[in-house]
Amino acid sequence: MSYAPELVIKDLHVGIEGKEILKGLSLEVGKGEIHALMGPNGSGKSTLANTLMGHPKYEVTSGEILFKGESVLEMETDARARAGLFMAFQYPVAIPGVTVANFLRTALNARLAPPETNGGGAMPHKRGIAPKEFRAMLKERMGLLKMDESFAGRYLNDGFSGGEKKRAEILQMAILKPEIAIMDETDSGLDIDALRVVSDGVNALAGPAMGVLVITHYNRILNYIKPDKVHVMVDGRIQVSGGADLALKLESQGYDWVRDGQEVELS
Amino acid sequence: MTNATTTPKTTLRPIAPEAWETTARARAQQQGEPDWALEQRRIAAAQAKALGLPSREHELWRRIDFRTLEQGLAALDPFHAGPAAATFGDLPAGLQAVLGEDADRAGVLVQRDAGVAFERNAAELERQGVIVCSLERALTRHAELLRPRLGALIEPDYDGYAALGAAIRSGGAFVWVPDGVEAALPIRLLHGLDAAGRLAAPRSVIVLGQQARATIVEEQSSAAADGLAFHLGGTEVFLGEESKLVFATLQEWGGNVYHYSNQRARIERGAELQWIQTVLGGRMVKTNSYFDLAGPGASAYVHGFMFGDERQHFHLHTLQRHLADHCTSDLLIKGCLKDHARSVYQGLIQVAEGAQRTDAYQANRNLVLSDTARADSIPGLEILANDVRCTHGATIGSVDPEQMYYLMARGLPRNTAQRLIVEGFFTPVIDRIPLEGIREHLRQVIQRKIG
Ligand SMILES: Nc1ncnc2c1ncn2[C@@H]1O[C@H](COP(=O)(O)OP(=O)(O)O)[C@@H](O)[C@H]1O
Ligand SMILES: [Mg+2]
């Protein structure tokens, strides 16, 4: 069986302000797969997520990121997103004065627009999805995430509780339908009910058309979102990869045995 | 700092041809303007002559550059008035478009250059005893209502321009809402400048009786033209006890227009003013907006924004003057600047002796989109009472790169992301504008300006 993973990361080295954070990281995520990336605080998980999205602060010093077979390193953040990469932020940013509905419609229209009209940066206005159709879609996806209808009229992430922010991230994922979704600590700050709702949402969206990389440093969320593969990251590198049972081992034994440098291949 | 007469004038710079004032007075007399109003013009002319052009060292004039206007002022035509329109449909299409489809659900007054071209009060307003007419008409028909008010709030010797404006006054509106009446429809006042070379000096007087309520939208609009034009405006607003007024003044001149206006509101006991001001057009724009909280428990909520591009230069000066106890004033002015645009916000809160339990707030927030644009903020407090709560704050910054990254991570191209952030920045002000048609129009103008 020939396997062409959607996202291929090869020997990636990334620095920020001259300090190397990712030190040769390799990872492949295919459509229809759910991967979990675990690792202690400060190991570089968010650095990886933001490097994949093209945050200007992170400098790729060597290595490669291929999305659908093509390098994204020269692509700006917005082009990567329109191509189908998505990151649910660990710390979503507030955009005062811009409603969730207005933002999502603009984002969806950008994603749906043919690539050539987006090349120059200017977006065709008043095209794309009809407002009525969009409202129906938004209502349906908000229902999936058990969000109140009034949410659509609130300003994006402005005054949102921690849980509301995380739900809003998943709502965005549900509207934009990415091909690869990276979820950076989406579980942190969620109570158990919210965690269940968010996980149900992700499970409903995940399927043969989408690959998911769940970043977390607890395995709590992995009780709800079942990963096909688990990777353990320490100090800018993936030290161990394995199946779902690896998460259980981490739970009982912590990260120290990985840190100690035992390269164990579990599967 | 708020009164020009306190600044020593070194050299007197004559302001305008003397013939203007005599011609203006002769024309006014012909139209039947009462003697007291003619006398006001004469006194103002003498003051304009005595004051001359404001000194460039003056605290309120040194941050804006009117030199090009000063050089071209004498060549402007202060008397040209657009032809009167018998029906709304006779107005130029551009002005009809500004008023839009809502126009027949409002009391409407349209000024073209130096004269009112169209007045149409709505039947519903008429029945309520609400008056909407040109100041000229009011001077003959409602002189007794105007006499104690015209010129009562804008000091005739405020500065040379203000005096000139009073001397050659041309057009403006009179709005009267009787005691206890809640105006059934909004009132729309539109001023257009038809071409370059024109000078208009409208003076408007707006009066709400006790417990009256009204919504008034004033719009200033012109197409860009080659050559100078000058709007020299004055608006005096009187809020009777426990009245409530929503007043929006929206400026969208072409890039050739110089704008200087003085706006005054006197708010009596328990009355509430909601003031919304937007500044989008013009070349050099200067406004002084003074809010007098004159009776106990009066309140003023002021929300404004300016958005400058190219070489536009705006100077907004506000004064929240607490003259009585238990009053509230809450002001937020937002500025966004791109290209080589520049803005100055200069605000002052004054609390008079005895104005205890004052609650005054002033904020100025600026978003600077280019390295060559500039925003300045000059806040001030003068407090003579001891039991007050007064705060002011200003911020000047560029677009937050993390906000840009967040929006771009959802696929928005860079300029769409920036447009959304700027729109969002203005939204709290736009949301206060009473008519949806206008809100939508402003969003489009902002979008166009962002480019
Ligand atoms: N903006 C930044 N500036 C400087 N150092 C940073 C920045 N972001 C992250 N780092 C450093 O990079 C390392 C990895 O951080 P991060 O990727 O956030 O880890 P994780 O998400 O696994 O907790 C940490 O040592 C952190 O201090
Ligand atoms: Mg992190």
Q: How confident is the model at residue A265 (pLDDT cuts 50, 70, 90)?
A: very low
Q: What is the pTM of this model?
A: 0.89
Instruction: Kindly state the average pLDDT of the residues A103-111.
Output: 95
Enumerate residues with CB within 5 Å of ligand 2 (an ion). A 45-46, 90
Q: Are A61 and A23 in contact (CB under 8 A)?
A: no
Q: Which of B295, B328, B363 is the last residue of a domain?
A: B295
Provide the shortest C-alpha distance from residue B98 to chain A (in Å): 21
- Is A50 touching ligand 1 by the criterion CB < 6 Å? no
Cα–Cα distance list, A235 to A24, A37, A52, A260 (Å): 10, 13, 18, 12
pLDDT beyond 90 at A244? no
- Confidence at residue A114, expressed as pLDDT on a 0 to 100 scale: 72
Indicate the burial class of A120 (C-beta count within 10 angstroms; 0-12, 13-18, 19 or more): exposed
Does A97 contact B405 at a Cβ distance shorter than 8 Å?
no
pLDDT beyond 60 at B3? no
- Confidence at residue A245, expressed as pLDDT on a 0 to 100 scale: 87
A chain contacts of residue B426, beta-carbon cutoff 8 Å: 97
Q: In what order do the strands lie in the sheet with B213-221?
A: B115-120, B107-112, B187-192, B213-221, B244-252, B272-279, B299-308, B328-337, B358-368, B388-397
Pocket test for ligand 1, best of A47, A52, A53 (most atoms within 8 A of CB): A47
Does A98 contact B427 at a Cβ distance shorter than 8 Å?
yes
Helices A192-205 and A131-144, axial angle in degrees (round to 10): 130
pLDDT beyond 70 at A261? no
Q: How confident is the model at residue B8 (pLDDT cuts 50, 70, 90)?
A: low
pLDDT beyond 60 at A131? yes
Write the secondary structure of chain B as one string of H (helix), E (strand) and C (coil).
Answer: CCCHHHCCCCCCCCCCCHHHHHHHHHHHHHCCCCHHHHHHHHHHHHHHHHHCCCCCCCCCCCCCCCHHHHHHHHHCECCCECCCCCCHHHCCHHHHHHHCHHHHHCEEEEEEECEEEEEECCHHHHHHCCEEEEHHHHHHHCHHHHCCCCCCCCCCCCCHHHHHHHHCCCCCEEEEECCCCECCCCEEEEEECCCCCEEECCEEEEEECCCCEEEEEEEEECCCCCCCEEEEEEEEEEECCCCEEEEEEEEECCCCEEEEEEEEEEECCCCEEEEEEEECCCCEEEEEEEEEECCCCCEEEEEEEEEECCCCEEEEEEEEEECCCCCEEEEEEEEEECCCCEEEEEEEEEECCCCCCEEEEEEEEEEECCCCCEEEEEEEEEECCCCEEEEEEEEEECCCHHHHHHHHCCCCCHHHHHHHHHHHHHHHHHCCCCCHHHHHHHHHHHHHHHC
Q: How confident is the model at residue A189 (pLDDT cuts 50, 70, 90)?
A: confident
Q: Which of B230, B263, B295 is the last residue of a domain?
A: B295
Instruction: Kindly state the average pLDDT of the residues B307-334.
Output: 98
- Confidence at residue A253, expressed as pLDDT on a 0 to 100 scale: 82
Domain assignment present for A226: yes
Q: Which of B334, B365, B403, B408 to mutate to test the interface with A (most CBs of A within 10 A)?
A: B408
pLDDT beyond 90 at B245? yes
pLDDT beyond 80 at A230? yes
Domain assignment present for A177: yes
Domain assignment present for B15: no
* Nearest alpha carbon, ligand 1 atom 6: A16
- Confidence at residue B304, expressed as pLDDT on a 0 to 100 scale: 97
Domain assignment present for B85: yes
Cα–Cα distance list, B85 to B9, B96, B416 (Å): 45, 11, 42
- Confidence at residue A257, expressed as pLDDT on a 0 to 100 scale: 79
Among chain A, residues having any CB pair with chain B shorter than 8 Å are 53, 55-56, 76-78, 81-82, 86-87, 89, 92-93, 95-98, 102-103, 106-107, 110-111, 118, 121-123, 125, 155, 172, 176
Instruction: Kindly state the average pLDDT of the residues B362-387.
Output: 96
- Confidence at residue B114, expressed as pLDDT on a 0 to 100 scale: 97
Structure tokens at A85: 């990469």
Domain assignment present for B12: no
Instruction: Kindly state the average pLDDT of the residues A167-184.
Output: 96
Domain assignment present for A24: yes
User: What is the span of the domain harbouring residue A219?
Assistant: 5-193+204-259
Indicate the burial class of B432 (C-beta count within 10 angstroms; 0-12, 13-18, 19 or more): middle
Q: Are A49 and A67 in contact (CB under 8 A)?
A: no
- Confidence at residue A119, expressed as pLDDT on a 0 to 100 scale: 46
- Confidence at residue A1, expressed as pLDDT on a 0 to 100 scale: 44
Across chain B, mean pLDDT equals 95
- Confidence at residue A267, expressed as pLDDT on a 0 to 100 scale: 37
pLDDT beyond 50 at A121? no
Q: Which of B239, B271, B295 is the last residue of a domain?
A: B295
Domain assignment present for A267: no
Domain assignment present for B313: no
Q: Any idea which ligand is nearest the CA of A22?
A: 1
Of chain A, the percentage scoring pLDDT greater than 90 comes to 73
Instruction: Give the C-alpha separation, B153 to B64, whole Å.
Output: 24
- Confidence at residue A125, expressed as pLDDT on a 0 to 100 scale: 47
B chain contacts of residue A92, beta-carbon cutoff 8 Å: 406
Instruction: Give the C-alpha separation, A177 to A174, whole Å.
Output: 6
pLDDT beyond 80 at B2? no
For A51-83, what is each residue's pLDDT tens digit?
999 999 999 999 999 999 999 999 999 999 999
**Nearest CB neighbour to B416, from listed A53, A56, A110:** A110
Q: Which of B234, B228, B274, B273 is nearest to B253 (CA)?
A: B228
Q: Which of A51, A53, A95 to mutate to test the interface with B (most CBs of B within 10 A)?
A: A95
Q: How confident is the model at residue A255 (pLDDT cuts 50, 70, 90)?
A: confident
Q: Which of A87, A98, A158, A172 to mutate to test the interface with B (most CBs of B within 10 A)?
A: A98
pLDDT beyond 90 at A263? no
**B406 and B262 fall within a common domain:** no
- Confidence at residue A52, expressed as pLDDT on a 0 to 100 scale: 98
Structure tokens at B71: 């050089």
Q: How confident is the model at residue B6 (pLDDT cuts 50, 70, 90)?
A: low
Q: How confident is the model at residue B219 (pLDDT cuts 50, 70, 90)?
A: very high
Domain assignment present for A187: yes
- Is A18 touching ligand 1 by the criterion CB < 6 Å? no
Domain assignment present for B329: no
- Is A43 touching ligand 1 by the criterion CB < 6 Å? yes
For A189: left if phi > 0, alpha if psi spans -120 to 50, otherwise beta; the answer is left
The count of structural domains within chain A is 1
Residues A251, A257, A258, A264, CA torsion sign? negative
Domain assignment present for A143: yes
For B142-192, what is each residue's pLDDT tens digit?
999 999 999 999 998 999 999 999 999 999 999 999 999 999 999 999 999
- Confidence at residue A266, expressed as pLDDT on a 0 to 100 scale: 44
Instruction: Give the C-alpha separation, A134 to A130, whole Å.
Output: 6
User: What is the span of the domain harbouring residue B436?
Assistant: 401-451
Chain A: residue whose CA lies nearest to B451: A122
The count of structural domains within chain B is 2
Indicate the burial class of B87 (C-beta count within 10 angstroms; 0-12, 13-18, 19 or more): exposed
Does A110 contact B417 at a Cβ distance shorter than 8 Å?
no
Domain assignment present for B307: no
For B411: left if phi > 0, alpha if psi spans -120 to 50, otherwise beta; the answer is left
pLDDT beyond 60 at A264? no
Q: Are B173 and B133 in contact (CB under 8 A)?
A: yes
Task: CATH number of the domain at A254, please.
Answer: 3.40.50.300
HSE-CB of B39 using CA atoms within 13 angstroms: 4
- Confidence at residue A110, expressed as pLDDT on a 0 to 100 scale: 94
For B93-106, what is each residue's pLDDT tens digit?
999 999 998 889 99
Residues 6+ apart with CB under 8 A from A259: A234, A235, A239
- Is A236 touching ligand 1 by the criterion CB < 6 Å? no
Domain assignment present for B154: yes
Place of tokens 């729309």: B188
Instruction: Kindly state the average pLDDT of the residues B406-423.
Output: 96
Instruction: Give the C-alpha separation, A21 to A63, whole Å.
Output: 13
The complex scores an ipTM of: 0.93
Domain assignment present for A255: yes
- Is A42 touching ligand 1 by the criterion CB < 6 Å? yes
Domain assignment present for B357: no
Task: Count A/B contacts: CB-CB distance under 8 Å.
Answer: 88
Across chain A, mean pLDDT equals 89
**B280 and B415 fall within a common domain:** no
